[in-house]
Structure 1
Amino acid sequence: MERTKFSMEEEAFEVRKLEISDKKKGFVELLQQLTVCDSISDEAFEERFREVAKYGNDHLICVIEDEDSGKIIATGSVFIEKKFIRNCGKVGHIEDVVVDSNVRGKHLGKKIIEFLSDHARSMGCYKVILDCSSDNMPFYNRCGFKQKEIQMVKYFSS
């Protein structure tokens, strides 16, 4: 599952794996719409890209590129956790899902979630999980997720 093409409102989009050239297409700026993400040097981006690539299919970052503008307009990632429970089962963790504020409402987020969920299923995961704000719960409900448990966090100072 390298690429998935789809059309919406006479626009053609493709969900695909992150490529190293995507930094120049606004990938980092898109992440800045989600959370704190300082600018990243080309060298630091390339180093992290190669580090993530070493995990193979156990860490997938996908993007949607607007073919007209050449900009990355949506992204998300999934990493596969290998467990001892459930007969050495696997769990997919979806993270960092964001759609550019200029193109929200076109179901691109749903396409990202479907792509990442399909990848987790293809990797043998028995479930896929994610954390989200209460404001985003209706969106994830429409994508087939349901609330379970409560998230807790502990931040470390840098």
Structure 2
Amino acid sequence: MAESSNSDMNGEKRTLKIRRLEISDKRKGFMELLGQLTVIGQVTDEEFDRRFEEISSYGDDHLICVIEEEASGRIAATGSVMIEKKFLRNCGKVGHIEDVVVDSGFRGKQLGKRVVEFLTDHCRSMGCYKVILDCSVEKKVFYEKCGLINKGIQMSKYFD
């Protein structure tokens, strides 16, 4: 867990800590934050709890991190990474970073970069030989500032 301080518009210090997602983060605005990224649907407390337990059972192979503003207890940013185990590269591993989002009230404070660095460091510590992150064209410049490079084209097929 890492802490830092940022000043808000009134010059007051905000203490922000980055850590793993906790089950109590649902009531700290975690789902609403994800809603700033994409459609989340109607997730009940029971569904959230079940999915949290399932993801937790994967150990370090699936990590969701959050940045919490300590004073308010509000979740300011999040991102996740999944570790894929491969046969390639001597049974190597690849990290897949997903769902990086910073709350609109906290943007411009380098929190997205902190999330990407935290997840990338996790991949390195897990022995991954690379990290992959898919993003929109509009976000390309931001992720290049985080040290990633464009290596190809993403293809998708969505199912109803």
TM range (shorter): over 0.9
User: What is residue 15 of structure 1 aligned with on the other side?
Assistant: 18
User: What is residue 10 of structure 2 aligned with on the other side?
Assistant: none
User: What is residue 29 of structure 2 aligned with on the other side?
Assistant: 26
When structure 1 is superposed on structure 2, of 62-71 and 98-107 the one drifting more is 62-71
User: What is residue 155 of structure 1 aligned with on the other side?
Assistant: 158
TM-score normalized by the length of structure 2 = 0.95
* 1:42-83 deviations in Å (ceiling 9; x for gaps): 100000000001100000000011112211110000010000
* Residues in 1 aligned to 2:46 and 2:145: alpha-carbon distance in whole angstroms: 39
Counting matched residue pairs gives: 155
Letter in 2 for 1:105: G
SS at match of 1:94: strand
User: What is residue 6 of structure 1 aligned with on the other side?
Assistant: 4
User: What is residue 39 of structure 2 aligned with on the other side?
Assistant: 36
1:143 to 146, 149, 152: 146
After TM superposition, give the deviation of residue 41 of structure 1 in Å: 0.7
User: What is residue 73 of structure 1 aligned with on the other side?
Assistant: 76
Letter in 2 for 1:7: S
Letter in 2 for 1:154: K
| Unaligned residue ranges in structure 1 (runs of 5+) | none
2:93 to 90, 93, 96: 90
1:50 to 26, 29, 53: 53
> Identity, % of aligned pairs?
64
* Residues in 2 aligned to 1:132 and 1:15: alpha-carbon distance in whole angstroms: 22
After TM superposition, give the deviation of residue 38 of structure 1 in Å: 1.4
TM-score normalized by the length of structure 1 = 0.96
* 1:82-117 deviations in Å (ceiling 9; x for gaps): 000000000000000000011100000000000000
* Residues in 1 aligned to 2:145 and 2:158: alpha-carbon distance in whole angstroms: 30
SS at match of 2:105: coil
Kept in 1: contact 2:15–2:71 (CA 8 A): no
* 1:5-48 deviations in Å (ceiling 9; x for gaps): 22233322110000000000010000000001113111000000
